[in-house]
Structure 1
């Protein structure tokens, strides 16, 4: 019976080490090396080209602390990008604490870098066939530690299992704040219990269990590796000066879009993969437009039109992707709905997307970029970082604009409830609550948030950061906008200014009043209470002394 080969991808900082490992593994007919690469974004991009793997082998270098940290960070990125992909690490002589931490990430196996090839092959077989493999040296514990370890093993295993369950629950983005507080407190208690138990027994027995050796699968014809993991391909961009920026944005999106801001966003209702698909759709269309039909130099006149066109196309394509091919009549109705939604979307979203002219000018090839009143060359790190932030903000706002059309017109369609929404947003009550939150958010931003940002000379951006959406603020002069504020928005700036003006006086008054209260309590009332208490004690003492005399 012909068996499928075990497909490997090898990642290591040292090219000579990769070559030697590939050559050694090639001697075993059960393995096939489908690729290898350095610890870099180039390797991550190669992994996004639709590869099919059984195991990814990651070498952790310890030449410097920086190289070790970057290797472990790369490991964490892989776990976020491909949680189902088995990872096998080749590490230096790590402490058991580090190995335990790596194991908690979901790494399936580990060997030391200086292990023999037969040991490494044994570990790869174990991981490829669904088992785990942890190579740990004997620590020669004392006799009393061995006895105590055996007695306490069930309890310590229960602690580890409870910690794993809590970690899994904490990764759920739908947890309420109270649930998170409870789980974090429970985790702290379990960690304290584990730390105390580790003081008395050996860490090896406590934390890492050696997997039993796996027989060579070549001797058992009925065995086969577990189903290989297919790494879903991500958008591919044409070769251009902007390709690296677009690919980096794709990697940031792939890590996740969990909203860590205090601002409710329309895309929060979407399932994680649907969020990514919508952002990919917008980013790919933007890339194709910039590469195939460059924008004109007069960006101030045409970027509004292009933004509207991109939003309309993205809305139609996204609906078609999850609803199905639209008929001619349905397309006409959708066009009419989008036209009706244009003005609200402009007033609530488009008008507050900062830096669109600078972003489009940079992507269309205009040299240089002004950052904080300093002009940088296009390839300068400061310019690239600013463009990436503007691109992140642009994608998130446009995705919100697409979802606004759906939430305003098709929010209760059953096909969207099951294909688009998270599980906790399927009931009509939760949908109504979510839409009300968005409605109040836009009212608050119009009357309070935006005036405050104008008064403080700043712009708020939504950016991707390690699997999360966060907010950042950048300085920009907004004097003209401040002078144009009227009504409630203008009143908000006056209130802020009055608050800033009287705040120092209020603080001084509170401090003075506080000192006066402390003086009265300690020097007047306290001393009086002290004298009264002293008199009471003396009276009790005199009474006790008089008791024997009264008996006589």
Structure 2
């Protein structure tokens, strides 16, 4: 029995690349190389862009000089095949072929042979007369469904005004009407299933038959691509702090903020790939969650500040990243307390588990699941970003070299820097003593997330009975005060309302009428005194 071939899939088309990886995972004779690069691939599967890029081919050829490369082309042309042969690529495969042929082609390439499909053979492949129109229909539905999913997610954000929500709901109705019309024109009125997580099929392409396991892997990977693409777009928008309280990220320049968040996102992607390759169970991932937090934080910190960078303070040379990593024991408990939903996020992206929202399990393709995962991912990114900046403020906040390289111009002076650090300290104390017990008592989790204007804060429901039982000291006192207020407030409000009604009655009915009678008597007395004067003038 032949050994499984180790395949490395590369290219700039993430959805097609993920589909090929899912198909490879489903076959026992093929296996994907681990993302950490510890195992050299037997063959490289290159998803070539259209039009064909010679520079990209040379890049992969130079990166894998001794490994055969098979180019994946949507519709090979004679000029493309000639270019690939000139650049030293061992073969090409058309994505319209069946997957068994791909495996045979890979083994042929690994054996030292070449495989070049003839253009006339591909052109002679029977194409259904309506293949192009079916492709156009499917592609249009993909765009409509993607916009519908985006609108569903936007409608669930708490920062939308009534007018914006009304506009978006109207836009949603228009898209749904357009979708029904498309189905009526091309599909005889039969509804087409949701396509937003699927790659638009090429004209006359035969779909790959996937097992349930491979289909779950494909859906999970497609979901990750959607989340990462959405978050990448968010990082290009303003990062203004709209939470009403200072964040550690505020001290960084805008370009440094985006750099740090992009580093964390890349490291999180590597972590998820490592967990998938290690094939850890859900229980093992939950057990290793503190270690995963530490690894993600340390790698992000080293990449951001420089793994081997030295900091000169007076006559002492300090390795910056190593010194900052020593702060982990201090900030680990606080970070873990703010990373709500990280367990759900990892289990969904690693194992494809459904998303639990208020006790209900939502599948990966549900808009509610995607919106919640996007919220959890953004909170994880921003909390880790704050945790990477926090040890720098604790250890080297006033070092001139650090200020010039990382800080925003507003915080360069010692006065503004000291004011910012004091605001951070007060905000942390306020959150620890008041906001945290209140959130626990109200079964709410505060999350940071991105909006079109910047970084904002929201609350989501989550049972926290166990944490409520563990509160003590001032935090427990706060919950007791809140409980007492909730118990007494209605009665006190009713009492004040009753007393207010009594006071109004006394003022209006008793005192008011008494004052009215007194005033009436005074006016009558003035009138009586004035009448004799008029009579005297009349007699004259």
**Structure 2 match to 1:66:** 171
Q: Quick check: 1:316 aligned with 2:298?
A: no
**Structure 2 match to 1:121:** none
**Structure 2 match to 1:52:** none
Q: Quick check: 1:397 aligned with 2:502?
A: no
Q: Quick check: 1:346 aligned with 2:451?
A: no
Structure 2 segments unaligned to the other structure (5+ residues): 1-139, 148-166, 176-220
Give the structure with higher Rg (CA).
Answer: 2
Please tell me whether the aligned partners of residues 240 and 291 of structure 1 are also in contact (alpha carbons under 8 angstroms).
no
Please tell me whether the aligned partners of residues 255 and 467 of structure 1 are also in contact (alpha carbons under 8 angstroms).
yes
Aligned equivalents of 1:260 and 1:279: distance in 2?
17
Deviations 1:253-284 (A, max 9, x none): 32222222233211122333332222112112
Distance 1:349 1:292, change over 3 A: closer
Distance 1:302 1:331, change over 3 A: farther
**Structure 2 match to 1:242:** 224
Distance 1:379 1:531, change over 3 A: same
Distance 1:69 1:274, change over 3 A: farther
> 1:507-526 alignment to 2 at 5 Å?
507-526=493-512
**Structure 1 match to 2:408:** 422
Aligned equivalents of 1:69 and 1:404: distance in 2?
47
- Out of 272, 277, 285, the position equivalent to 2:254 is 272
- Out of 446, 449, 452, the position equivalent to 1:460 is 446
How far off is 1:505 after superposition?
0.8
SS of residue in 2 equivalent to 1:364: helix
> 1:95-174 alignment to 2 at 5 Å?
none
Deviations 1:505-542 (A, max 9, x none): 10111101110111111111211222222233334444
- Out of 248, 252, 256, the position equivalent to 2:238 is 256
Aligned equivalents of 2:408 and 2:513: distance in 1?
64
Distance 1:256 1:453, change over 3 A: same
Structure 1 segments unaligned to the other structure (5+ residues): 1-36, 43-61, 71-238
**Structure 1 match to 2:183:** none
How far off is 1:549 after superposition?
6.0
Aligned length: 326
Q: CA RMSD in A?
A: 3.3
Deviations 1:11-54 (A, max 9, x none): xxxxxxxxxxxxxxxxxxxxxxxxxx989989xxxxxxxxxxxx
Aligned equivalents of 2:496 and 2:445: distance in 1?
34
How far off is 1:400 after superposition?
0.7
Q: Quick check: 1:306 aligned with 2:292?
A: yes
How far off is 1:500 after superposition?
0.9
How far off is 1:361 after superposition?
1.3
- Out of 490, 495, 518, the position equivalent to 1:532 is 518
**Structure 2 match to 1:195:** none
Distance 1:542 1:331, change over 3 A: same
Please tell me whether the aligned partners of residues 310 and 318 of structure 2 are also in contact (alpha carbons under 8 angstroms).
yes
Aligned equivalents of 2:251 and 2:311: distance in 1?
27
Aligned equivalents of 1:470 and 1:349: distance in 2?
18
Aligned equivalents of 2:237 and 2:174: distance in 1?
19
- Out of 434, 439, 449, the position equivalent to 2:425 is 439
- Out of 436, 443, 465, the position equivalent to 1:450 is 436
Aligned equivalents of 1:502 and 1:378: distance in 2?
45
Q: Quick check: 1:291 aligned with 2:291?
A: no
SS of residue in 1 equivalent to 2:288: helix
SS of residue in 2 equivalent to 1:279: helix
SS of residue in 2 equivalent to 1:466: coil
Distance 1:411 1:540, change over 3 A: farther
How far off is 1:287 after superposition?
1.4
Aligned equivalents of 1:519 and 1:451: distance in 2?
43
SS of residue in 1 equivalent to 2:460: strand
Aligned equivalents of 2:507 and 2:390: distance in 1?
59
- Out of 469, 479, 483, the position equivalent to 2:469 is 483
SS of residue in 2 equivalent to 1:263: coil
SS of residue in 1 equivalent to 2:384: helix
How far off is 1:394 after superposition?
0.5
**Structure 2 match to 1:379:** 365
How far off is 1:443 after superposition?
1.8
How far off is 1:311 after superposition?
1.2
Aligned equivalents of 2:441 and 2:170: distance in 1?
45
How far off is 1:419 after superposition?
4.2
Aligned equivalents of 2:275 and 2:465: distance in 1?
36
Please tell me whether the aligned partners of residues 301 and 321 of structure 2 are also in contact (alpha carbons under 8 angstroms).
no
